[in-house]
Amino acid sequence: MLLEPTLWPALVAEFPFEWHYVRSIIYVSLYVSLVAVTLSTLFSLPVALLVGFKEFPGKGLVTSLINTGMGFPSVVVGLVVLFGVSNQGPLGELNLVFTREAMIMSQFVLATPVVTGVSLAAVSSVEQNVRDAAFAMGGTRADVALVTIKEARYGIATAVLAGFGRAISEVGSVLIVGGNIVGPDGHSKTRTLTTAIQLEARQGQFETAMILGAVLVVLVLVVNAVVVRLGSGNGGRY
Amino acid sequence: MTLEATDVCYGYDDEAVLEEVSLSVNRGEVLAIIGPSGVGKSTLLRLLALFDSPDRGRVTYDRNEVWTAPERQRLEYRRKIGMVFQEPSLFDASVRRNVTYGLRVRQSWRDRLRHEVASLVGTQNGTGDAIDALETVGLREKATQDAASLSGGEAQRVAFARALAYDPDILLLDEPTSDLDPRNTAGIEDAVYRARNRGIGVAIATHDMHQAERIADRVAVLLGNDVIEVGDTERVFEDPADERTQKFIDGELIY
């Protein structure tokens, strides 16, 4: 019944938000999470390769820190980042309180242990003889690292998805450092889908919260599908 | 052109694996390194392939000391040496991409990027070198196949083609046929002949003495952490200078 075209205008008419408002919170959610996870991946892959294949003093401690970070309470991360960017903090001069950049920082801190930990498991599972083959054929250290990443691409795709899932579903820390702000023009400044859902639910607007929740789930599904598609190539790009 | 180890010593933790071993591989010859399993044949090949530096002793390429050379120069030496392992160790990619890997890593990053883009848009497929190398191992028709779909024997022949594709001076083979059936073993041995006839020096580690007798010009016998005898194949098998070689050839367990 709901799919009958004659009902669509009625549904749109009853939609409880302005479209530009919804679009802006989707944009902020995606922008903050994708930038944070991209930065996190760029940071995590070299760390995973280093920890996975280099012997150095304190390697066990680093591994433990990564594993601990995977379960780190997000509210604490938000508090620490808020202190860091506040007037009293080391980054106070940058005026990042209640900005998207501060939200990216907190999501980066939350996603990085997840991306690093899962990537570490993925690259560690690449067989030594495959790495030896790349070296034996004249590969440099960078070539061997590239082969390792290509061989571990399914696991790394999982790591990126796990990091993205952690970032986009985050409420506590982005609420603390972002402030859940909508501008006077009705566009989101630092409001994300999760903080909007939290706000609507608190105000008893369960229907609108559910609609935003559905939008969030669809977004996560789409991003997952894209990453899985990218990660499941035939490995032809060595 | 000679790859040579002189008085090399190497060990893991406190256990010595090789003690003052000297051995050379020349272009255009097949050298078989024979000895029982676990005697250090693979370790010796890894030292010759410049994976690891010896604890003591020297490795030279064309009389140039390898481990005192700058890293860039050492990379150039490494790129004149190919190696095939007991396991095929193919990448999770097509056969063609596997075989052309050694050629690609020798290109500049800019050229690699340009070829990748050309390959993506379908204006360049880079199959020429891969096809030549695959022809040598009789697998020309497998170029577009996924490497994971090959049988064990085919995979090992592709691994051989992959090492041949960039035309090394020296090819090191670490028990390449130990897991293969007679047909694939014959395919590898035939490819060894062809490589030698192209002027490539081949060193093959094997515990199969019949294979060594079939394909080698010279034989080195590795026993008890040391090369106890090196010589022409016929002489070593028919008139060994060392009593232990005779016992090993006769099948007596002396290790």
Give tens-digit pLDDT for B140-157: 889 889 999 999 999 999
pLDDT band of residue B122 (cuts 50, 70, 90) is: low
* Mean of per-residue pLDDT scores for chain B: 91
Chain A residues with CB under 8 Å of B50 CB are: none
CATH number of the domain enclosing A137 = 1.10.3720.10
Q: How far apart are CA A179 and CA A172, in angstroms?
A: 10
Chain B residues with CB under 8 Å of A137 CB are: 82-83, 101-102, 105, 162-163, 166
Among A143-157, A198-212, A218-232, B62-76, whose mean pLDDT is lowest? A218-232
Specify the long-range contacts of residues B140-148, CB closer than 8 Å, at least 24 apart: B142/B95, B143/B94, B143/B95, B143/B96, B143/B99, B144/B94, B144/B95, B144/B96, B145/B94, B145/B95, B146/A234, B146/B93, B146/B94, B146/B95, B147/B90, B147/B91, B147/B92, B147/B93, B147/B94, B147/B95, B147/B98, B148/B90, B148/B92
Minimal Cα distance from A146: which residue of B?
A: B105
Give me the number of domains chain A comprises.
1
The answer regarding whether domain B2-249 maps to CATH 3.40.50.300 reads: yes
Residue A7 has pLDDT above 60, yes or no: no
Greatest Cα pair distance, chain B, in angstroms, is 64
Contact B75 A138 (CB under 8 A): yes
Is residue B201 within 8 Å of B31, Cβ to Cβ?
A: yes
Q: How far apart are CA A214 and CA A149, in angstroms?
A: 34
* Mean of per-residue pLDDT scores for chain A: 89
More confident residue, B251 or B67: B67
Gap from A137 CA to chain B (nearest CA, Å): 5
Chain A residues with CB under 8 Å of B108 CB are: none
- The CA-based angle B120-B126-B129, given to 5 degrees, is 160
Contact B91 A137 (CB under 8 A): no
- Res A236: pLDDT: 45
pLDDT band of residue B138 (cuts 50, 70, 90) is: confident
Is residue B53 within 8 Å of B90, Cβ to Cβ?
A: no
Q: What is the pLDDT averaged over residues A134-158? A: 94
Interface test with B, best of A137, A140, A232 (most B CBs within 10 A): A137
Contact B166 A137 (CB under 8 A): yes
Q: What is the pTM of this model?
A: 0.84
- The CA-based angle A138-A143-A148, given to 5 degrees, is 120
Q: What is the pLDDT averaged over residues B75-88? A: 95
More confident residue, B131 or A84: A84
CB-CB neighbours of A31 under 10 Å: 14
Chain A residues with CB under 8 Å of B93 CB are: 150, 234-236, 238
Determine, yes or no, domain membership for A3. no
- Res B255: pLDDT: 53
Chain A residues with CB under 8 Å of B105 CB are: 134, 137-140, 143
Give ipTM to 2 decimals: 0.90
Range of the domain at A176: 18-231
- Res B130: pLDDT: 72
Minimal Cα distance from B74: which residue of A?
A: A138
List the single residue in A138, A140, A147 with the smallest CB-CB distance to B91.
A147
Determine, yes or no, domain membership for A185. yes
More confident residue, A228 or B30: B30
Gap from A49 CA to chain B (nearest CA, Å): 18
Gap from B81 CA to chain A (nearest CA, Å): 8
Determine, yes or no, domain membership for A1. no
Residue A2 has pLDDT above 70, yes or no: no
- Res B116: pLDDT: 79
Determine, yes or no, domain membership for A120. yes
Chain B residues with CB under 8 Å of A141 CB are: none
Determine, yes or no, domain membership for A183. yes
Minimal Cα distance from A235: which residue of B?
A: B93
**Residue B112 contacts A, CB cutoff 8 Å:** no
Q: pLDDT tens for residues B19-61? A: 999 999 999 999 999 998 888 999 999 999 999 999 999 999 9
Q: What is the pLDDT averaged over residues B72-101? A: 94
Contact B82 A137 (CB under 8 A): yes
Q: pLDDT tens for residues B185-233? A: 999 999 999 999 999 999 999 988 899 999 999 999 999 889 999 999 9
Residue A128 has pLDDT above 90, yes or no: yes
**Residue B160 contacts A, CB cutoff 8 Å:** no
Give how far Cα B112 sits from Cα of A35, A144, A151, A221, B103, Å.
28, 15, 19, 34, 10
Residue A219 has pLDDT above 60, yes or no: yes
pLDDT band of residue B253 (cuts 50, 70, 90) is: low
- Would you list the DSSP string of chain B? -EEEEEEEEEEETTEEEEEEEEEEEETT-EEEEE--TTSSHHHHHHHHTTSS--SEEEEEETTEESTTS-HHHHHHHHTTEEEE-SS----SSBHHHHHTHHHHHTS-HHHHHHHHHHHHTTS----HHHHHHHHHTT-GGGTTSBGGGS-HHHHHHHHHHHHHTT--SEEEEESTTTT--HHHHHHHHHHHHHHHHTT-EEEEEES-HHHHHHH-SEEEEEETTEEEEEEEHHHHHHS-SSHHHHHHHTT----
Residues composing chain B: 255
**Residue B41 contacts A, CB cutoff 8 Å:** no
Determine, yes or no, domain membership for A221. yes
Minimal Cα distance from A133: which residue of B?
A: B89
Determine, yes or no, domain membership for A5. no
Minimal Cα distance from B125: which residue of A?
A: A236
Determine, yes or no, domain membership for A237. no
- Res A123: pLDDT: 96
Minimal Cα distance from A131: which residue of B?
A: B89
Spacing of C-alpha B202 from chain mean position: 7
Contact A150 B91 (CB under 8 A): yes
Contact A234 B146 (CB under 8 A): yes
- Res B133: pLDDT: 85
Q: How far apart are CA A86 and CA B155, in angstroms?
A: 60
Is residue B61 within 8 Å of B29, Cβ to Cβ?
A: no
